[in-house]
Structure 1
Amino acid sequence: MYSVSDVTKKLGISRSTLLYYERAGLVVPERDPVNGYRLYSQGALDRLVMLKMLQKAGFSLAECRRFMDGEPDMVLIRQRLVHLEKELMEMTVARDLLRSLYHRVTGDAPPEVAPADAREWHAEFEKRSADAHAAWLRMMGFSEKEALYIRWVSRDMHDNTTYVNHFFHVFEQMKRQGPGSAEATLKAFGGIDNPEAIRSILDIGCGSGSASLVLAGRCDAHITAVDNHQPFLDRLQEEATRRGLEDRITPLNMSMHGLDFPENHFDLLWSEGSAYIIGVEEALSQWRPLIREGGYLFLSDAVWLTRKPSNPCRDYWRIEYPRMTDPDTRKKQAETLGYEVVNTFVLPRRDWRDFYNDMKTAVQKAVETFGMSRALREMTEEIRLDETHGDEYGYVCLLLRKSA
């Protein structure tokens, strides 16, 4: 539960604004049974985050209410869009005139201002509340999978399909879907005290199964490998069969938002670079019940390796991973949420170089097929960023044991 001061700080609004929302019936707080103070649930906070982000997108309070209640007025949206396009046209004429006057009077080039970027809106929404962001996209009629891709792949509600198709075309050609290596996987698994006791593993966000295949070669456990992109799972099934591991590895198309398994079911949960999709803290909390007492969770997550990142890095990761933090914060979060940190290390830099070299080859082939699209251009920029600033960030690898 959150107090009034908690909510105002998280949302960046005044106390009077929060109370106005309450009087307008936009949010209904609970009351502390001891002192009568207002308390806001996580659901209430998510609703307020949604309200603030819709206001930022230009909607009135009445329109925001209809959106949050699942009743968007599409006629009104069209009218607002037509009106806004007309305003933008008029403002563009005014801007060009002012730029000409500025140059005429001063002799200098007019100041440049970065264009608005809808990705910033999605990134800020995600940072404030991943649940509210996902809920809003679902209200707009996107499926859970489509909403997930908008949040973490395209950040584009208008042309999400083309972007995602090009994105996955590249990743389906790659050896791995994220930085890592067999050596790193084995190093992480080697931190387990009694590896012979590991009889069941859940590989979450497995991609084409690089980690599953390595783990199957290291232990006798049965591995359930889940992902929501069927071509990755088909590739894993084919490789597992080729290696004679079809009885040891079970690929399963399932969302990590709804892992449908009994509690205390697995000895080890494995998540290489995928926990960020639902949020690391959320993953630590939601996945814990699936682990038997004394069982393990391994995850890797992108973190800052410097206290003063360069502007290109900061700008890139602000969009790509709004809730990115540092290794110590991730360890503290794990301990707070009921885990003992058994081992931790930073993924070697060579694993990132190998990953991006592979991506560069796949992107070049995709450009030959599709031409340069936004997805392929942004991948090219990502590769270039890693080549110039890759020492500023990395993956922290955490082997955790479920505490009693």
Structure 2
Amino acid sequence: MYHVSDITRRLGIARSTLLYYQRIGLVSPARDEQNGYRIYSESDLERLVTIRCLQRAGFSLTQCQRCIEGKMDTAMLREQLLVIEREILHLKTAERMLRALCQRTEGKAPPQTPETDPLRHWHAAFEKQSAQAHLKWLQALGFSEKTATQIRCVSRNMENHEVYMEDFCKVFETMKRQGPGSRQATLSAFRKIENSAAIRNILEIGCGKGETALTLAEVSEAHITAVDNHGPFLHALTTKFTEKNLSRRIQPLVASMLSLPFENRSFDLIWCEGAAYIMGFEKALATWKKFLIPNGHLFVSDAVWLTSSPSAPCKELWDVEYPDMRSLEERCRQAEKAGYLVVDAALLPRQDWQDFYDDMEKNLLDLEDSLGESPVFQDLKKEIAMNRQYGNEYGYACLLLQKKVPV
């Protein structure tokens, strides 16, 4: 629950603005029975986040409300588009005039600002404010949960999303791993679990093509449920464990991490390498805890900053790719707040990142003839170059957590 001060601080708006939203019916907070203060729910906050993000995209409050309620019509959208196009024309005219005057007075024109995709930054800002509100808004537009999640976390493009994801999958389906990691890193983390021999049921979330599931099967006698929402990844996993005669111990399952189909207290260990960001780190920890037995363990790796002052190009990239990236210390605090004991906190070895991007680069070279001009190709090349130059500024936090039992 949130009070007025919580909402105004979270959204950066004046109290009068928030109360105006209430007067015109955009939000209807409850009242505290004891003192009469306004109380805003999580749904109220998500609705307000969506309104503020749509306002930044040029929508009026009336249009925001219609958009949230799924009552958009072509006439309204085209009318707003014409308004924006006229404003852009005026601004471009002003820009050209100012450049001409600077040329006249200074003898040279000011440097051009590098072009960026404003819609990618808009989606990233929305995601940072509230991943859940971002997801709900995309679903209100008619996107499936899987597609909405991919738009949030991968393409950030509602217009050419299908083409982007087709090219993206061409790259990642041919890679050995779908994120930084290694067999040795998985083994190292698993061996830090006290009495690991007693583990009987493991859930791996975001398993990709199954390298981690196979490693966990090597070092335990547990039954492993390997979940991913991308069928081709699970097909590759099935081929691997069939070859290794592990069909009875590894169960692949196409499912969303946002709505896992399991009973509470079903697993001794939950394992998630590099995929918790899709839900949001804090929400993932809070949601998955119910699936663990008392004193059960959760291993999660997540991208973190290794410096408090990252280089500008590096920060610009990750502000879009992972808006909620934090420090290792902050992730540990969040885990403790969510009801976990931090058993171990370490960083993924730098070599694992190097190996991951070497593999990606090799696959991009193999696909260059077909993907060389695609946005995916350019985005991934940029990510590789960023890691080579600034890889010491960020890494993966590897957290082994244990579910606390209430006293």
- TM-score under structure 1 length normalisation: 0.98
Aligned residues of 2:58 and 2:84 also touching (Cα < 8 A):
no
1:332 aligns with 2:333: yes
Q: Find the residue that maps to 1:251 and give its secondary structure.
A: strand
Kindly report which structure 2 residues correspond to 1:2-21, keeping only aligned pairs within 5 A, or say none.
2-21=2-21
Q: Find the residue that maps to 1:166 and give its secondary structure.
A: helix
Measure the CA separation in 2 of the matches of 1:333 and 1:92: 45
Aligned to 1:358: 359
Measure the CA separation in 1 of the matches of 2:86 and 2:19: 35
Q: Find the residue that maps to 1:298 and give its secondary structure.
A: strand
1:99 aligns with 2:96: no
Measure the CA separation in 1 of the matches of 2:31 and 2:369: 61
Kindly report which structure 2 residues correspond to 1:284-299, keeping only aligned pairs within 5 A, or say none.
284-299=285-300
Q: What letter corresponds to residue 113 of structure 2 in structure 1? A: V
Kindly report which structure 2 residues correspond to 1:21-170, keeping only aligned pairs within 5 A, or say none.
21-115=21-115, 117-170=118-171
Q: CA deviation at 1:86?
A: 4.0
Q: Find the residue that maps to 1:237 and give its secondary structure.
A: helix
1:321 aligns with 2:322: yes
Kindly report which structure 2 residues correspond to 1:360-399, keeping only aligned pairs within 5 A, or say none.
360-399=361-400
Q: What letter corresponds to residue 386 of structure 1 in structure 2? A: N
Q: CA deviation at 1:101?
A: 2.8
Aligned to 1:274: 275
Aligned residues of 1:339 and 1:401 also touching (Cα < 8 A):
yes
Q: Find the residue that maps to 2:13 and give its secondary structure.
A: coil
1:191 aligns with 2:192: yes
Measure the CA separation in 2 of the matches of 1:364 and 1:163: 18
Q: CA deviation at 1:78?
A: 1.7
Measure the CA separation in 2 of the matches of 1:84 and 1:214: 54
Q: Find the residue that maps to 1:173 and give its secondary structure.
A: coil
Aligned to 2:303: 302
Measure the CA separation in 1 of the matches of 2:177 and 2:150: 19
Aligned residues of 2:100 and 2:109 also touching (Cα < 8 A):
no
Aligned residues of 2:223 and 2:250 also touching (Cα < 8 A):
yes
1:239-271 Cα offsets, whole Å, 9 max, x none, are 000111111111110000000100000111000
1:315-353 Cα offsets, whole Å, 9 max, x none, are 111111000001111111111111111112100000000
Measure the CA separation in 1 of the matches of 2:223 and 2:168: 31
Kindly report which structure 2 residues correspond to 1:254-269, keeping only aligned pairs within 5 A, or say none.
254-269=255-270
How high is the sequence identity, in percent, across the aligned residues? 50
Q: Find the residue that maps to 1:258 and give its secondary structure.
A: coil
Aligned residues of 2:371 and 2:377 also touching (Cα < 8 A):
no
Measure the CA separation in 2 of the matches of 1:91 and 1:381: 30
Bigger mean CA deviation after superposition, 112-121 or 260-269: 112-121
Aligned residues of 2:153 and 2:321 also touching (Cα < 8 A):
yes
1:295-319 Cα offsets, whole Å, 9 max, x none, are 1110000001111111111111111
Q: Find the residue that maps to 1:263 and give its secondary structure.
A: coil
Q: Find the residue that maps to 1:257 and give its secondary structure.
A: coil
Q: CA deviation at 1:368?
A: 1.8
Measure the CA separation in 2 of the matches of 1:50 and 1:333: 25
Q: CA deviation at 1:114?
A: 4.4
Q: What letter corresponds to residue 73 of structure 1 in structure 2? A: D
Measure the CA separation in 2 of the matches of 1:139 and 1:37: 31
Q: CA deviation at 1:90?
A: 4.4
Aligned residues of 1:166 and 1:366 also touching (Cα < 8 A):
no
Aligned residues of 2:171 and 2:360 also touching (Cα < 8 A):
yes
Measure the CA separation in 2 of the matches of 1:87 and 1:30: 39
Q: CA deviation at 1:102?
A: 2.3
Measure the CA separation in 1 of the matches of 2:36 and 2:80: 42
Aligned to 2:284: 283
> Structure 1: which 5+ runs fail to align?
none
Bigger mean CA deviation after superposition, 79-88 or 47-56: 79-88
Q: What letter corresponds to residue 293 of structure 2 in structure 1? A: R
Q: CA deviation at 1:80?
A: 1.8
Q: What letter corresponds to residue 142 of structure 1 in structure 2? A: F
Q: CA deviation at 1:82?
A: 3.2
Q: What letter corresponds to residue 44 of structure 2 in structure 1? A: A
Measure the CA separation in 2 of the matches of 1:95 and 1:184: 53
Bigger mean CA deviation after superposition, 31-40 or 44-53: 31-40
Q: What letter corresponds to residue 297 of structure 1 in structure 2? A: L
- TM-score under structure 2 length normalisation: 0.97
Aligned residues of 2:372 and 2:378 also touching (Cα < 8 A):
no
Measure the CA separation in 1 of the matches of 2:107 and 2:322: 41
1:243 aligns with 2:244: yes
Q: What letter corresponds to residue 265 of structure 1 in structure 2? A: S
Measure the CA separation in 2 of the matches of 1:326 and 1:182: 25
1:179-235 Cα offsets, whole Å, 9 max, x none, are 000000001100111112111110001011111000001101010000011110000
Q: Find the residue that maps to 2:173 and give its secondary structure.
A: helix
Measure the CA separation in 2 of the matches of 1:238 and 1:365: 23
Q: CA deviation at 1:115?
A: 4.1
Q: CA RMSD in A?
A: 1.2
Q: Find the residue that maps to 2:227 and give its secondary structure.
A: strand
Q: CA deviation at 1:73?
A: 2.3
Measure the CA separation in 2 of the matches of 1:329 and 1:314: 18
Measure the CA separation in 2 of the matches of 1:115 and 1:372: 17
Q: What letter corresponds to residue 140 of structure 1 in structure 2? A: L
